[in-house]
Amino acid sequence: MMRVPAPQIRQQLLSVLRAWGMSDAHAETTAAMMLETDLRGVDSHGISMLPTYDREFRAGRLNMRPLFKTVREGPAMALIDADASLGHPVSVYAMNLAVDKCRESAVAVVSVVNSHHFGAAGCYSRIAAERGVIGMVTSATRGVSMVPTFAAEPVMGTNPLAFAAPTKRNPPFQLDMATTTVAAGKVKVHKLNHRPLPPGWVVDGNGQSVTDAEEAFRYVFERPEGGITPLGGTRERGGHKGYGLAVMVHILGGTLAGASFSPIRNRTQKPSDPHNIGHFFLAIDPRAFRADGEFEDDLDQVIDVLHNARRADPAQPVLVAGDPEMATHSERLRDGVPIPDDLMEQLRAVAKSAGVPFVLVP
């Protein structure tokens, strides 16, 4: 596995996206979000998605020159049509619009419809926290990979949920999670690295755990039965709670915006149709509820107490959401982003197909 410096990854992303016809502004935004995802250690949603986007683009499902349309708007809400575009630019726009509106109305929601995959949800909730407000993000999904509690086939997606809140002394609290035990992309990452899966991530059509990476990949991405477990795994371990969270995420990210529910879409639309994924962006201004700075002070104290909890292992600090990503971000800025050999060959093929130089080299 080779480590690639962040500037080279950005350069490769920009060259491919521009070759596909994306505007400079949208290419810059998309590359920034994808690179940020890799730097944070979410390897399943960064540059590893480029071969998938390449397939979507060549199938005619991605509009690289979109015109975003405001379908509905009020003082504290908006519904944006992404014009069948890749989800990163419209999501940055939507989250910032929600923040702008919450400054006036205390709370604001912006929904997006007719979009595609937007990468890691946490990149967008972080925008809110960096602007001094609370942000929450959910998204519908294209994939059908999660097996509901008591089911034998996948029905839901990995349905991400992200939440971020501003602080003063500590880094912002940043929760970014799938509502499945693991994101589907992480199964792909294990396959790329030829690593077995931990028990409980993926099950077959009889509910039995699958740990072989190749076999697990087939259950998640190719076979009609089996798939990823809800967060928690079996019902005895709380999997029904993850299942419920996944439905909640789709209601906010998909149903509210009028986006597709993938099992229904698969029966009613042509494979060449755009995916019509929906996203949900909530912004809350703490200053509407508290005097300026009081929320951040209290949250700093909460985080301090959590960090100072007595350790089970003296060598392992107690962390809060966002800590691992911040540490990985610093390490990868210094040492580069690891890219498996199998993925490197796929990226080389994408660059060749786009007619741009391949720059992910030592």
What global pTM score does this model have? 0.94
CA 137, CA 120: separation in Å to the nearest integer? 10
Q: Which residues of the chain have pLDDT under 70?
A: 362
Q: What is the pLDDT of residue 274?
A: 87
Query: In the prediction, which pLDDT does 146 show?
Result: 94
At 82 the pLDDT is 98
Query: What was the pLDDT predicted at 273?
Result: 84
Domain annotation for the chain: domains and CATH numbers? 62-181+229-293 (3.30.1370.60)
pLDDT single digits (tens) 238-273:
999 999 999 999 999 999 999 999 899 888 888 778
